[in-house]
Chains A and B, each alone.
Chain A
Amino acid sequence: MKIAVCAKYVPESTAARRIDPQTKRLDRSGEGALNPFDVNAVEEALRLKEGGDGEVVIVSLGPERALEAMRRALAMGADRIVLVADEVAAGSDLVATSRVLAAALERERPDLVLFGQQANDADGAVLWAAVAERLQRPLISQVAELSLEDGTVRGKRQTEYGYDVIDAPLPAVVAVSDAINEPRYPSLKGIMGAKKKPQEAVSLADLGVGAEEAGEAGSRTTVEALNDPPPRGDTEKIEDDGSAADRIVEFLLERKAI
């Protein structure tokens, strides 16, 4: 059983975010980390592997320095990392990113591909479906419970209306919700051992992906302009001195809300 977890290198959640006005891309020059939502996918992969033969491979697209952040997954127990590190791939949109990741996954031929719920530096939450499409594999997304039996993966999908239970034969692609588990913390032994595990950086050429198929050249969306948000009305903040409830009612009356 081989499980690939697609993981993303994102800016540290505590870092101030800015968009570079020149490239109109997120400034990624600061400190980075393994996307916290992907940690749930790593945990689920390790859980599925437990008690059986298997391998958990982290597959990522990002700058070379992402390797260090990705090692957290190795410290948790994943077996190795394949990082597609190629400057040409920077600025890839959904169409281009899914193409590159699918090429890296084709090379690995995993039984199961796992994604986290979303990246914490973008509100897309759509990549897995594009990757499943390129790999021509069945897909289950928003999975809050996952089990594996006789070559079939069963996922409980959280939707706007409740839950759906969906079966998919392996090989399959599954995106897990962060409600699925509580990720383990890496042990000291795990952290010490992580550096020795295989960590491979590959280029687009290694994957047979042409330069025109990745990055901005391979993308099909554009950023036209950056604007200030629409102005927000005045906000008022008070401390409760025993009269806050009265102030709220007064405020609602002023605004004709009651």
Chain B
Amino acid sequence: MRFLVFVEHHEGRLQKDSLGVLSKAASLGGEVEAVLLGSGVNELAAEAGKYGAQRVHVDDDVLLDKPLPQPRVDALETLLADQQFDAVLFAASVLSADVAAALAARLDAGLNYDLTDLAVEDGKLVGKRPALGDSIYVDVGWSSEPRLALIRSGTFEPEEAGGSADVAPFESRFQDFSLAATMVEQAHEESEGPSIEDADVIVAAGRGLGGPDNFGLVEELAKALGGAVAATRAVVDAGWYPYSTQVGQTGKTVSPKLYVAVGISGAIQHKVGMQSSGLIVAINKDPNAPIFEYADLGVVGDLHEIVPKLTELVRARKAA
């Protein structure tokens, strides 16, 4: 099987989820190639080789400088007109979801999305997708080529295999309508402390926290546990905490070893962002909060009493 992986990059680094998908494709066997689009990205191409790409197709073009989806659809169409791939894989993000869906329409090629696994069974590629709040797992397939697949973010860990890739430059042919949208401004927030994607421990807070002033409670606990602070959509929308810390749909997908959910009810939109965490501990005053259905340890109680006590106990334990 010949795979093409769409590799995203941000601020001069290849994006972790894309590298994870690359590693997954390499583990399925066959030929694994990557496509890298942008301006000034030639330098980055070789890096993809370390994660399993045998060849990296690169279009280094100023028209691909900004992270806009439609020029990338043109680029992929150009590449796929010359090269036959069995499957084109994308790690889900705001950008790549748009690219994958538009490419599906352009090529009339099937796209399966929100996949949490890929397998080759009897020589056929099969995608696995949880449905109905993860109560059922659906095996999905394709009836056209190339098979387009959008993988849920945070699904596959990158594995450095230490290979090297050929770099194959190509030149995209652009459509007028694809170039019509233009980027006026990019404003990227930076959060302090360890980023939530890389943290082994995350303490996350939801609306149950009561207000932005109470974030000190979770920050102290995170510090004691050596972890990062995350927030739910509701909290970020209310302006209590920066967007860069948002977990869940429209935010980040995280999979730390320990996830402590404080005052989070745990609706499905949040669950999809953190359910692959190793251990989940939840503190919430509502005994019927959905998070108790999937927390390894659920505590019904007042977070304002429990969290400071817990912070003290953890500190004492670590000092001992």
* Chain A contact residues, CB within 8 Å of chain B: 17-19, 24, 26, 93-95, 98-99, 117-118, 123-134, 136-142, 154, 157-169, 172, 177, 179, 219-230, 232-240, 244-249, 251-253, 255, 257-258
Q: Please measure, in the bound complex, the distance between the C-alpha atom of A13 and the C-alpha atom of B189, giving whole angstroms.
A: 34
- Given contacts A161-B10, A164-B185, A238-B299, whether A221 and B131 have CB atoms under 8 Å apart is no
A124, A169, A220: the one within 8 Å of B142 (CB): A220
Q: Given the known A-B contacts A160-B94, A221-B112, are A229 and B317 also in contact in the complex, defined by CB atoms under 8 Å?
A: no
From A93, A137, A158, A246, contact of B94 by CB (8 A): A158
Q: Are A166 and B306 in contact (CB under 8 A)?
A: no
Residues in A whose Cβ lies below 8 Å from that of B108: 95, 220
B136 x A229 contact (CB < 8 A):
yes
Q: Tell me which of A133, A220, A234 contacts B143 (CB under 8 A).
A: A220
Pick the residue among B105, B237, B305 that contacts A134 (CB under 8 A).
B105
- Give the shortest distance, in Å, between A3 (CB) and chain B (any CB): 18
* Interchain Cβ contacts under 8 Å between A and B, 22 examples: A18-B132, A94-B113, A125-B249, A129-B101, A130-B104, A132-B102, A133-B105, A138-B177, A161-B188, A164-B185, A164-B187, A166-B68, A168-B180, A223-B138, A226-B138, A232-B294, A235-B298, A237-B298, A247-B297, A249-B310, A252-B279, A253-B317
Contact of B314 among A134, A136, A240, A258 (CB under 8 A): A258
Tell me how far the C-beta of B235 lies from the nearest C-beta in chain A, rounded to whole angstroms.
Answer: 12
Of listed A140, A159, A160, residue having the most chain B CB within 10 A: A160
In the bound complex, residues from chain A placing their C-beta under 8 Å from that of B299 are 237-240, 244, 247-248
Are B131 and A162 in contact, with the CB atoms below 8 A? no
Bound CA–CA A154/B295 (angstroms): 41
Q: Which residues in chain B, 150-196, are within 8 Å of chain A measured between CB atoms?
A: 150, 175, 177-178, 180-189
Within 8 Å by CB of A139, from B70, B144, B298, B310, lies: B70
Q: Which residues of B contact A166 (CB under 8 A)?
A: 68, 181-184
- Chain A residues positioned under 8 Å from B99 (CB to CB): 129
Contact A158 B98, CB 8 Å, known A229-B130, A235-B296, A244-B301 = no
* Interchain CA distance A127-B113 in the complex, whole Å: 11
Q: B110–A93 contact, CB under 8 A? A: yes
In the complex, which residues of chain A have a beta carbon less than 8 angstroms from the beta carbon of B243? Answer: 158, 162-163
Instruction: Give the contact stretch, choosing among B24-32, B35-43, B57-65, B250-258.
Output: B250-258
- B120 interface hit (Cβ, 8 Å): no
- Contact A239 to B318, CB < 8 A, known contacts A167-B181, A225-B138, A228-B136: no
Task: Decide: A221 and B143 in contact? CB cutoff 8 A.
Answer: yes
Task: Decide if A227 touches B137 in the complex (CB within 8 Å).
Answer: yes
| A239-B300 CB under 8 A given contacts A168-B180, A219-B110 | yes
B73 engages A133 (CB within 8 Å): yes
A69 → chain B closest CB, angstroms: 20
Residue of A98, A169, A247, A248 ringed by the most chain B CB atoms within 10 A: A248
Given A139-B70, A142-B250, A232-B294, A159:B94 Cβ within 8 A: yes
Min C-beta distance of A113 to chain B, whole Å: 13
B101, A239: Cβ atoms closer than 8 Å: no
Main secondary structure of the interface of B (DSSP, over half): mixed
B94 adjacent to A19 (CB under 8 Å): no
Closest 5 CB pairs of A and B: A240-B301, A220-B110, A126-B101, A245-B309, A162-B188
Q: Nearest chain A CB to B95's CB is how many angstroms away?
A: 7
Q: B250 contacts A117, CB within 8 Å?
A: yes
Beyond A98-B105, A125-B249: 13 further Cβ-contacts under 8 Å?
A: A18-B132, A19-B132, A19-B138, A141-B69, A141-B94, A142-B250, A157-B94, A163-B243, A220-B111, A220-B144, A235-B294, A240-B305, A251-B297
Judging by beta carbons under 8 Å apart, are A249 and B110 in contact? no
Please give, as numbers and ranges, the residues of chain A lying within 8 Å of B189 by CB-CB distance: 161-162
Given A158-B243, A165-B183, does the pair A224, B298 have CB atoms closer than 8 Å? Answer: no
B interface residues, how many (CB within 8 angstroms): 93
* Min CB gap A182→B, angstroms: 11
Q: What are the residues of chain B within 8 A of A223 when measuring CB–CB?
A: 138-141
| Interchain CA distance A75-B257 in the complex, whole Å | 48
User: B272 contacts the other chain (Cβ, under 8 Å)?
Assistant: yes
B114: chain A residues at CB < 8 Å are: 123-124
A-side contacts of B132, CB under 8 Å: 17-19, 26
Question: Assuming A158-B243, A238-B300, is B184 touching A130 (CB within 8 A)?
Answer: no
Determine the residue in chain A with the shortest Cβ distance to B180.
A138
Give every chain B residue within 8 A of A126 (Cβ-Cβ): 97-98, 100-101, 111, 113, 150
- CA A116 – CA B75 in complex, angstroms? 27
Asked whether B310 lies within 8 Å of A127 as measured between CB atoms, the reply is no
B298 and A162 form a contact (CB under 8 A): no
Q: Contacts A158-B94, A166-B181 hold; do A138 and B70 have CB atoms under 8 A apart?
A: yes
Using a CB-CB cutoff of 8 Å, which residues 175-221 of chain B contact chain A? Answer: 175, 177-178, 180-189, 201
Q: How far is it, in angstroms, between the C-alpha of A248 and the C-alpha of B181 when the chains are bound?
A: 51
Chain A residues contacting B140 (CB-CB under 8 Å) are 221-224
Shortest Cβ distance from B181 into chain A, in angstroms?
A: 4
**How close is B197's CB to chain A, nearest CB, in angstroms?**
9
B313 at the A/B interface (Cβ < 8 Å)?
yes
0/1 interface trace, chain B 1-28, chain A, CB 8 Å (1 if under): 0000000001000000000000000000
